Every structure is written in structure tokens, then in C-alpha cells.
Structure 1
Amino acid sequence: MTFLQKLGFWRKKERKETEAPPFLSKPWREINWGDNQRDLQYVKDYRPQTDGQQLRILLHGHIGAGKSSFINSVQSVLQGRMYTQALADKTFHDCFTKGYTTYNIQKDRDTFYPFVFNDIMGLAKDKGVQVDDIKLALKGHVKDNYRFNRDSRMSEDDPFYINHPTDNDKVHVLVCVIDANTVTCMHNEIEEKIRNIRKEATHLSIPQVAILTKIDETCPEIKEDLQNVYKVNYLKEKMEQFSVNVGIPMNCIFPVKNYDREIDLNSDVDSLILSALKHIINFGEDCINFHKSQQLRAMSYQNNNM
């Protein structure tokens, strides 16, 4: 072996020794793998403290990130079978979802779950949904079935504009859905739009959550075994990078795998979806209770000053 060959060999060896191992010594977040019944029952038992209150969850994110697929996956877990109410298209390279669509999830023959999902047109660099329209949706000004115009924001004289939104019209949790494979190569303009929307949600005291989809495509270790999701350092670094880029804390970011090619439910897929859903509901409930307390405080102040 020549000197240059030896030098190359030791440099390779040194590089391998200094590289971070693919697996962490222990999972950095615990999941109740195989104990889905407890989390499922938690979701089924959820009731807002106020009668008639509906928890509204608004999904937004880059085109093709998996917003519609996440809604379908949640419905599949709760229904106990594959469900495809929210239409999605993996071959569609433009905004497949064009309107503001509300999805109610049926609980039994006569009742629905007290939370709803809203799907909207995706974000894009120079097309897609207007950021101002998402801000209007956060405040409850957008009626169901409104079709977004990528060239102009919704006007107040539009028939789908709600002049006096109720508490049920307003959004209680904002969920940013991101393809895990695009986290480190997302266009600056998309990141800026996400930060802009997040800033408005913060101003309105609406909690924000991020869902990282397609995690099985990020590395072979997760594709081989979904339970490696919190053991693989590579995905943790992607989540940390996204947290830094848009400002969403790590404890509000949840990696999931949507149902896409499966024809039967999978326990590990369900575990991640239920974990994310449980926290989304908790954050939404906190939002509802906070705004109710603010309203009661304002009413009390007015009464005391009459």
C-alpha cells in the first residue's frame, strides 16, 4: 500500500469514527407503541367544556406535503378502517385542494366528534393560497367551500365572507404540514410565509403544531421499522432545523407516516397519528378555554364599570 493509499485509508477511518451514529443510545421521545387503545379512548372521550363548542383545526403547508392524506389517516384510525373522504392525488404537481373544506368525523350513527379539520390550498413560492386568506380563516371569516384565488385575497363583500364569526367559526389550532424530505431544502419564500402565518396565529393566541410527513422516505432505518423514528438522529436533526427555521418549538413538532399505499391499518402508523392528534386536541382545548376566560373577564370588567 502506497503512502497516499494509506493516508486515504486513515482519513476514511477517521471520518467514520467521527460521524454521528445512525441510532441514538435511547429514544429521545417516548411513544406508547402497541398501546393505542388508551390514546384512542382519550380521543373518543374528549368533550369541550362548553356545550356546543367545536374545536377547529386548520391545516396548511407546502403543496403535496400531505394535508389531505393526514386528514384521511386520522379518519382511518378513528373509524377503524381505511377512509378517503379528503381527496388527494400524488401525481398532481399543482394545488390539488382548491377550496376551504371542513371535514367532520362521524363517531357513530347519530353523532360526530367535537373537532373538525379544515383543508386549504397549499403554499407555493409564486402561487398557491394567499397568506392573507389563511389569516382570514384563522379569524373565522371564511365559509366552508370557498374557492381560493391564488392571484388575489378574499374581499369582505364576497358571499363566502363571514362578517361576524362565532367561536365555532374561528380556528383553535393551526397545524403546519411539512414533507420531512423538504425541510432542509425548503425555499426561503415558503419559510417566510410559514413564519408570517405563525406570527398572526400567535397574535390571535392560537397554538401552532407541525406535522412532519413521509418520514419513512427520509432514511432506510425508519422505512424498515417505524419504531425507530425517535432513535434515528438524522430525523431529529431535520426536526431541529425546521424548528429553528420557522420558530415552532420541538415539543410541538410530530413526525407521522400517513396511510398511502396500505390497504389495512398498521399499529405503528396509528401510534404516531394518535400521539399527534391527542396533543393537537389538548392544545386546542387550551385555546378554547383561554378565549372563554378572556371573554368572561371582559364581561366582568364591563359590568363593574356600568
Structure 2
Amino acid sequence: MMGGLFSSSDPPPQPPPPSPPLLSEPWRTIHWGDNQSALQHVKDYKPPTEGQHIRILLYGPSGAGKSSFINSVQSVLQGKMCSQALVDNVSLSFTRQYTTYKIPKEDGQSFYPFVFNDIRGLEIRDGVLVDDIKLVLRGHMRDGYKFNPASTLSEDDLFYNKNPSTNDRVHILVLVTNTEFVMDAETVQKIQEIRMEASDLDIPQVAIVTKIDEICPEITDNLQNVYKVKYMKEKMEQFSAEVGIPMTSIFPVKNYHEEIDINSDIDSLILSALKHIITTGGDHVNFKKTQSECSGTWA
């Protein structure tokens, strides 16, 4: 006698197997273990104009890893652990003033033709003002300016640069966040305002997602799984939709944090992001140079 849909002798229906945590193929190609060509590309890079450097502005929530990314880049390029930019394990912004970081070459006599600028975090209270970031983008802020969360830099301030040169202006804007950060509506609004200003200035934009090793065991155990973990890709797609930066311009990385030695897989991800950043920034300089030759408006 049948008892419902299944007889008593039939095994109960089994739930479908869970989706595999890893994709069969990575959705982005990284040449793991072969960092020499990417490293040489960065070391040999020259901006399109003699004497020009690429100014890279990092911005984002406090604790996202902006300063750590600068240190990680320097560590990769020098082949040893470096800590030029001060970092702290706190939730509030540790960066208090506008600072330019130059990375020395191996000869100790010269610097790479790109610089990083670190600024105060985007926290709603006590964070950097959107209007200050707009001034930075246009090259109006001088090094050493201490950010005031209550008022923006005024034109009569000693740190206001009235006549910014090409080198003073930002050539690529990099949003830095991490896998733990949940963006509230006010932070997203700040980011969108900053992105709109950069777009008006034709400044290209990239995003870096840090702390990827903390998102799931598959990546914790093996960084090479970063482009195979479905959940990681879904998080990046969600982030892309929230801030409007396309997936092609979002790079997951792991900053050097507690390591005491260089790691090849960490280097691979940082070099992948860095190559894109400096090349894109250089394209912007070249574009503006062409514009200035036609109109004479970009000095």
C-alpha cells in the first residue's frame, strides 16, 4: 500500500547538493608565481611627459587599508617589508593630514614616477569633508594640511595652492574599502559626490578591496582562490552596484599586515592592481596633454 507520494520502503527525498564554493575556472587571470614581468613593467614605467609623475589619491572608510596599501606597494617594489605610511589598528582615521608618499628606487638616489596621497577617512563624524577632497583633486591642497572636519580649506590658508601645476593635480582616484565594511547611505552618498567631481574632471577611478583573506576559509587557506570563490565575486558585484565602479576596475588585494617576509601571492595581487592604476593614470595625463595642446587650457 502506498503511503503518500513515497512508499515506506523508498528513501526520503534528499536536498540538492550545495553549490560548490569554487568556480570551475577563475573569472580573472592572474599569473601566480610569475611576478617578474609585472614587477619589471612597474620599474620601467615612464609617464608620457618628461618630469611628470602620476598622482594617485587614496580615499575610503577609516581602517580600510589606505596607508597599509602604500606600505605594501613599497614592500613589493623593494623586496622587503616597509612601513613608510603610519598605520594603526583603530576604527577612527589614523591619518590626520594631507601627505604625499614617494617610493624610492633601489639605487636610493631616485624615486618612482608615481606618488600616493593619503587622506583622512570617510567616517560620517570627524571624517574628511567632500569639499576638501574636491580641492585635492584639483591640486589646491598643499602637503601637511591638517584636515578639519568642521570646515574646509580656505583660499587664504597657507596650505591652499592657488596655482596648481599638472603634477599637483590628481591623475587617478582610488577608492579603498575592505570585505568587512558595510556602507551606510551617508557614506555611499559621500562616495558618489566625490566620484561625480572626479568624473567632471575626467579623472579615472579604480577601487581596491582589502582584507580578502578574512572573507572565507577558501581564500584564507589559499589566496589563489580569490577569483574562484563565488561569494567573493558576489560581494564585489554588490559593491560595484553600490558605488558605480565597474568590475573591470575593482581589484581584490591583501595588504601586508602581520607578515615579516615577502609573499609571492600577495605580491601578485598588489602588482595586478598597481599596473592598472599607473597605466590608467598615465592615460589620463596623456589625454589632458592632448587637450592642452589643442586648447592651451591645461598647464
For residues 68-99 of structure 1, give each alpha carbon's deviation from its aligned partner in whole angstroms, at most 9, with x where no partner exists: 00000000000110000101001x23210001
State the match for 1:145 in structure 2. 144
Report if aligned partners of 1:125, 1:187 keep a CA contact under 8 Å in 2. no
Q: How does 1:250-261 map to 2 (within 5 A)?
A: 250-261=247-258
Q: How does 1:103-252 map to 2 (within 5 A)?
A: 103-107=101-105, 108-182=107-181, 185-252=182-249
CA distance in 1, matches of 2:12, 2:99: 59
Report the CA distance between 1:284 and its aligned residue: 0.3
Report the secondary structure of 2:296's partner residue.
Answer: helix
Taking only the aligned residue pairs, the percentage that are identical comes to 61
Report the secondary structure of 1:105's partner residue.
Answer: strand
Report if aligned partners of 1:209, 1:280 keep a CA contact under 8 Å in 2. yes
Which residue identity is paired with 1:65?
A
CA distance in 2, matches of 1:220, 1:132: 40
Report the secondary structure of 2:268's partner residue.
Answer: helix
CA distance in 2, matches of 1:52, 1:44: 16
CA distance in 2, matches of 1:129, 1:156: 18
For residues 186-233 of structure 1, give each alpha carbon's deviation from its aligned partner in whole angstroms, at most 9, with x where no partner exists: 111111111111111011000000000000000010000000000000
Report the secondary structure of 1:153's partner residue.
Answer: coil
Structure 2 unaligned blocks of 5 or more: none
- Cα RMSD between the aligned structures? 1.7
Report if aligned partners of 1:98, 1:148 keep a CA contact under 8 Å in 2. yes
Report the secondary structure of 2:38's partner residue.
Answer: helix
Report the secondary structure of 2:260's partner residue.
Answer: coil
State the match for 1:304 in structure 2. none
Report the secondary structure of 1:181's partner residue.
Answer: coil
Report the CA distance between 1:10 and its aligned residue: 6.8
1:99 matched to 2:87? The reply is: no
CA gap of 1:220–1:297, structure 2 versus 1, over 3 A, is: same
- Greater shift, 126-135 or 249-258, is seen at 126-135
Q: Report runs of 4+ in structure 1 exceeding 2 Å deviation.
A: none
Report the secondary structure of 2:117's partner residue.
Answer: strand
1:42 matched to 2:16? The reply is: no
Structure 1 unaligned blocks of 5 or more: 301-306
- Greater shift, 66-75 or 45-54, is seen at 45-54
CA gap of 1:233–1:144, structure 2 versus 1, over 3 A, is: same
Report the CA distance between 1:20 and its aligned residue: 3.5
Report the CA distance between 1:110 and its aligned residue: 1.2
Report the CA distance between 1:181 and its aligned residue: 1.9
CA gap of 1:20–1:131, structure 2 versus 1, over 3 A, is: farther
CA distance in 1, matches of 2:193, 2:23: 34
Report the secondary structure of 2:276's partner residue.
Answer: helix
**Larger helix percent:** 1
1:55 matched to 2:54? The reply is: yes
CA gap of 1:111–1:219, structure 2 versus 1, over 3 A, is: same
Q: TM-score of the superposition, structure 1-length normalised?
A: 0.91
State the match for 2:259 in structure 1. 262
CA distance in 1, matches of 2:91, 2:236: 25
CA distance in 1, matches of 2:127, 2:12: 51
Which residue identity is paired with 1:40?
L
CA distance in 2, matches of 1:239, 1:20: 19
State the match for 2:81 in structure 1. 82
